[in-house]
């Protein structure tokens, strides 16, 4: 049809330029449309480099179709399990320790004498930095899990911010703590014996407990806090930054949103272990063994306590003539 | 009682992004936040390419509402899923739970940190008094209360995006399917009218 118009144009001289322009534009557009129809603009659309937000993949429909893999699992766990497990584990641990305190009671050791110097100033500073981090992170974590009961809003929002700030403190203390305690925290044969008698905590009698500088319980806490801590930092960072791009995701065929879902699931389950052992650590140092907190304040541990609770360490010190 | 639904007809959507822009402007959203996204599938593949506009789908069994740790969501009697921004803590769980990636988080919290969640309200505002300044500031327009169509559907030039009571929406779509067949029809909607008339 436009060819006919063209024929007309050549006949009529002195046609306004405007009309000619519109005609040319129309011709170009029509030709362009034919061109688009014949040649695919992009042969492999999926390989196109995407520079914007990866949060929802460039192909949103891919996310929607793959929702069943991780999305539904996250919803199922969050709706039915996370809150219940956190509540159950926390209450369970507290009840067990309350019963332990009432039935078996705390262990008391003589604090006379100079004691054994176990923690240098550096170690104490690192410990208390990590301790402050945990005191900030764990209660705020619980505040978010049970945000419904607290009514949400600014209170829980602030808790979320403090949760992130506490993490920074933990990151600071992480490397020195790992390096200074890595070797004494390695498992030994004593640990099996310790677990078999549950560290002597099930008897009122003062028994000699097989343990080096750290007993199996402390080691368990150390490794959960360190290896678990790395995972908690990593998964927490993913949830915190939310919108990031890891090239490696493409290699695993994983959408970014799925990675964050996996991170949230991991963070919750690991959080249960960390919270349970944190409460245990508090109970042991504050209540179960009277005065054991002193060693982390002054650096000196009661000789009597070392003799019974860390017998292998005591023997080693004696051999070296340090006592 | 009406049950409000969005439907985007992929046979009609021409990826003009009118819905996304109109929504951003009407609700004065911060830069980088689009409650509505237009997604093009099979881009560049002849005869297979089509686009759909996606936002919050206002699910009946909304997973966001189920996972929210502070219970800030509520579902209106007409099925519109809304949330209370003064209760929301911006944890992101609703985003992990959402199949459509609807929840977004403007960085407007303290020191530019991630703030509370923002999503499509089907232009129905929030829990604050209807058409109050606070409602407008937090959630954008409340067009539903004024008897108007949500901005995205109101602006859609090809009527691809339709919104309303589910029975009526499905009735419209059913009539379209009867006339032109189901799904994508190779050539974008309106092409013949625009270029071959």
Sorted by where each begins, the domain ranges of chain B are 4-196
A167 contacts A138 by C-beta, under 8 angstroms: no
Measure the CA–CA gap between B41 and B50, rounded to whole angstroms.
6
Query: Topology of domain B4-196, per CATH?
Result: Alpha-Beta Plaits (3.30.70)
The residues that bridge with B5 in the sheet, in sequence order, are B164
Q: Is the pLDDT of residue A136 over 80?
A: yes
CB-based contacts of A266, cutoff 8 Å, min separation 6:
A231, A235
A63 contacts B99 by C-beta, under 8 angstroms: yes
Measure the CA–CA gap between B160 and A116, rounded to whole angstroms.
79
Average pLDDT, chain A: 85
CA distance A77 to chain B (A): 9
Say yes or no: A50 contacts chain B, CB-CB below 8 A: no
Q: Which residue has the higher pLDDT, B11 or A37?
A: B11
Q: Which chain A residues are Cβ-neighbours of B96 within 8 angstroms? A: 71, 74, 257, 260-261, 264
Nearest residue of B to residue A239, measured between CA atoms:
B92
Q: Is the pLDDT of residue A126 over 90?
A: yes
Which band of pLDDT confidence, cut at 50, 70 and 90, is reported for residue A53? Answer: low
Measure the CA–CA gap between B89 and B85, rounded to whole angstroms.
8
pLDDT (0 to 100) of residue A59: 62
Q: Which residue has the higher pLDDT, A112 or B148?
A: B148
Query: Topology of domain A60-319, per CATH?
Result: Fumarate Reductase Cytochrome B subunit (1.20.950)
Q: Give the tens place of pLDDT for each residue, B161-195.
A: 999 999 999 999 999 989 887 766 666 667 777 77
Q: Give the tens place of pLDDT for each residue, B5-27.
A: 999 998 889 899 999 999 999 99
pLDDT (0 to 100) of residue B186: 64
Question: Cβ separation of B114 and A261 shorter than 8 Å?
Answer: no
Q: Is the pLDDT of residue B145 over 50?
A: yes
Indicate where chain A has its CATH 1.20.950.20 domain(s). 60-319
Which band of pLDDT confidence, cut at 50, 70 and 90, is reported for residue A63? Answer: confident
Q: Is the pLDDT of residue A13 over 50?
A: no
B40 contacts A45 by C-beta, under 8 angstroms: no
Q: Which chain A residues are Cβ-neighbours of B88 within 8 angstroms? A: 152, 157
Which band of pLDDT confidence, cut at 50, 70 and 90, is reported for residue A56? Answer: low
Q: Which chain B residues are Cβ-neighbours of A74 within 8 angstroms? A: 67, 96-97
Nearest residue of A to residue B38, measured between CA atoms:
A60
Average pLDDT, chain B: 90
CA distance B137 to chain A (A): 17
User: B38: helix, coil or strand?
Assistant: strand
Q: What tokens were used for A189?
A: 């044969």
Q: Which chain B residues are Cβ-neighbours of A60 within 8 angstroms? A: 37, 39, 54, 100-101
Q: What percent of chain B clears pLDDT 90, i.e. is strictly above it?
A: 69
When mean pLDDT is compared across A99-113, A151-165, A173-187, A235-249, the lowest value belongs to: A235-249
Question: What's the mean pLDDT in A300-322?
Answer: 90
Measure the CA–CA gap between A242 and A263, rounded to whole angstroms.
11
Measure the CA–CA gap between A159 and A156, rounded to whole angstroms.
5
């Amino acid at each position: 049809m436009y060819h006919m118009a063209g024929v007309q144009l050549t006949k009529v001289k002195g046609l306004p330029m405007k009309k000619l322009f519109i005609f040319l534009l129309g011709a170009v557009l029509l030709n362009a449309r034919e061109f688009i129809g014949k040649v695919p603009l992009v042969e492999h659309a999926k390989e196109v480099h995407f520079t914007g937000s990866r949060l929802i993949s460039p192909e949103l429909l891919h996310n929607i179709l793959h929702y069943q893999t991780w999305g539904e699992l996250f919803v199922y766990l969050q709706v039915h399990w996370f809150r219940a497990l956190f509540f159950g584990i926390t209450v369970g641990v507290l009840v067990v320790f309350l019963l332990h305190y009432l039935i078996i009671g705390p262990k008391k050791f003589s604090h006379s004498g100079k004691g054994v110097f176990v923690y240098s100033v550096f170690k104490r500073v690192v410990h208390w930095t990590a301790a402050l981090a945990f005191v900030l992170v764990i209660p705020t974590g619980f505040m978010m899990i049970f945000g419904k009961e607290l009514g949400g809003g600014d209170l829980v929002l602030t808790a979320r911010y403090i949760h992130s700030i506490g993490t920074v403190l933990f990151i600071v203390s992480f490397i020195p703590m790992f390096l200074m305690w890595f070797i004494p925290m390695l498992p030994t044969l004593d640990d099996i014996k310790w677990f078999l008698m549950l560290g002597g905590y099930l008897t009122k009698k003062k028994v000699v407990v097989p343990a080096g500088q750290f007993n199996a319980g402390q080691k368990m806490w150390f490794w959960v806090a360190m290896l678990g801590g790395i995972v908690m930092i990593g998964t927490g960072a993913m949830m915190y930054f939310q919108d990031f791009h890891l090239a490696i995701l493409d290699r695993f065929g994983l959408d970014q949103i799925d990675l964050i879902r996996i991170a949230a699931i991991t963070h919750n389950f690991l959080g249960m272990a960390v919270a349970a052992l944190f409460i245990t650590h508090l109970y042991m140092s504050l209540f179960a063994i009277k005065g054991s907190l002193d060693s982390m304040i002054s650096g000196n541990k009661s000789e009597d306590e070392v003799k019974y609770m860390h017998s292998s360490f005591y023997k080693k010190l004696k051999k070296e003539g340090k006592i | 009682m009406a049950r409000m639904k969005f439907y985007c007809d992929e046979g009609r959507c021409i990826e003009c992004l009118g819905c996304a822009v109109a929504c951003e402007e009407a609700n004065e959203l911060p830069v980088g936040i689009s409650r509505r996204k237009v997604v093009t599938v099979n881009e560049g593949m002849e005869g297979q390419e089509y686009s759909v506009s996606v936002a919050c789908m206002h699910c009946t069994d909304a997973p966001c509402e189920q996972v929210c740790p502070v219970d800030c969501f509520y579902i209106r009697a007409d099925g519109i899923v809304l949330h209370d921004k003064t209760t929301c803590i911006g944890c992101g769980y609703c985003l992990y739970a959402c199949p459509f990636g609807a929840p977004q988080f403007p960085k407007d919290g303290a020191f530019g940190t991630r703030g509370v969640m923002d999503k499509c309200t089907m232009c129905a505002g929030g829990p604050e008094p209807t058409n109050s300044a606070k409602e407008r500031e937090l959630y954008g327009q409340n067009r539903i209360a004024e008897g108007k169509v949500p901005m995205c559907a109101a602006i859609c030039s090809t009527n691809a995006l339709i919104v309303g009571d589910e029975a009526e929406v499905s009735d419209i779509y059913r009539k379209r399917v009867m006339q032109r067949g189901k799904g994508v029809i190779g050539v974008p909607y309106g092409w013949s009218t625009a270029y071959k008339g």
